Amino acid sequence: MAEVVIVADEDAAGALVADAIVSLIRSKPDAVLGLATGSTPLASYRALAHRIAAEAIDVRGVRGFALDEYVGLPPGHPESYRAVITREVVEPLGLTPELVRVPNGDPATIRTAGADYEAAIDAAGGVDLQILGIGRTGHIGFNEPGSSLASLTRVKTLTEQTRLDNARFFDSPDEVPMHCITQGIGTILRARHLVLLAFGSAKARAVAAAVEGAVSASQPGSAIQLHPHATVIVDEAAASELENLAYYRYAWANKPDWQRT
């Protein structure tokens, strides 16, 4: 099962994520990070930026692959995930821009964009640590319910719920693209360590389904149960529908040093 860690707030989660990434980079200066967008990972990126600056960690060789991108936004659109990753990750962390890739959502090349992205991840040797959020529909990346658990990077149609959830980033809900290109669930499962973050009661059902529900394409987040090294970091509200809460707290409180990764 996934290791479930219940924390007080997003900053506490960010400190844990920053710890894991800093130790990864120290042992592998050209580590490959899997980068999520959305609101959820922002505190982790802030914590990581702070650690990198405070400890003068050399991140020039660190590589990155974003999970997903909208299809058809004009180049440079501020809410394209390319722009978000540049603004929230590449610049504050001081990563080398050429080493951080985002799926290409240009309709002109969309037919080959998925295979190209898979090839680039393979050429990089795979993702070492994949940060994940989870949508209210249970999606990871943009793999909406029904996505094959073996899927690779490809175009998907967003649900109306996800478009509404993401409308806050746009001037109007109609502006949220209907299509996206996302790493598949099979792609995500190839990463060597998954770190899924969720905060707030709106995510509680999706978290419970991902961690304790049946493994099913209807709940894309449940695919983490197939992964040998998955960490789920949640606040109390997002954890509130988990049945085995007491056990997760007990396991975390009694985690020996030799079990830490």
Contacts to ligand GLP by CB under 6 A? 36-40, 67-68, 133-135, 141-142, 162, 166
Compare residues 52 and 66 and give the one whose CB is closer to ligand GLP.
Answer: 66
| Closest by CA position to 231, among listed 39, 6, 12 | 6
Compare residues 38 and 103 and give the one whose CB is closer to ligand GLP.
Answer: 38
Compare residues 23 and 201 and give the one whose CB is closer to ligand GLP.
Answer: 201
Both tokens of 160, joined, read: 């109306």
Both tokens of 62, joined, read: 């660190």
In sign, the C-alpha dihedral spanning 167, 172, 173, 177 is negative
Compare residues 28 and 136 and give the one whose CB is closer to ligand GLP.
Answer: 136
To the nearest whole angstrom, how small is the minimum distance from the Cβ of residue 255 to ligand GLP? Answer: 26
To the nearest whole angstrom, how small is the minimum distance from the Cβ of residue 68 to ligand GLP? Answer: 5
To the nearest whole angstrom, how small is the minimum distance from the Cβ of residue 95 to ligand GLP? Answer: 19
Compare residues 14 and 38 and give the one whose CB is closer to ligand GLP.
Answer: 38
| Residue nearest ligand GLP by beta-carbon distance | 133
CA atoms of 143 and 73, how far apart (whole Å): 19
Compare residues 196 and 258 and give the one whose CB is closer to ligand GLP.
Answer: 196
To the nearest whole angstrom, how small is the minimum distance from the Cβ of residue 210 to ligand GLP? Answer: 12
To the nearest whole angstrom, how small is the minimum distance from the Cβ of residue 17 to ligand GLP? Answer: 14
To the nearest whole angstrom, how small is the minimum distance from the Cβ of residue 247 to ligand GLP? Answer: 26
Residue at token pair 């649900």: 159
Strands of the 3-7 sheet, one edge to the other: 3-7, 230-235, 193-198, 129-132, 32-35, 63-66, 100-101
To the nearest whole angstrom, how small is the minimum distance from the Cβ of residue 36 to ligand GLP? Answer: 5
Compare residues 103 and 133 and give the one whose CB is closer to ligand GLP.
Answer: 133
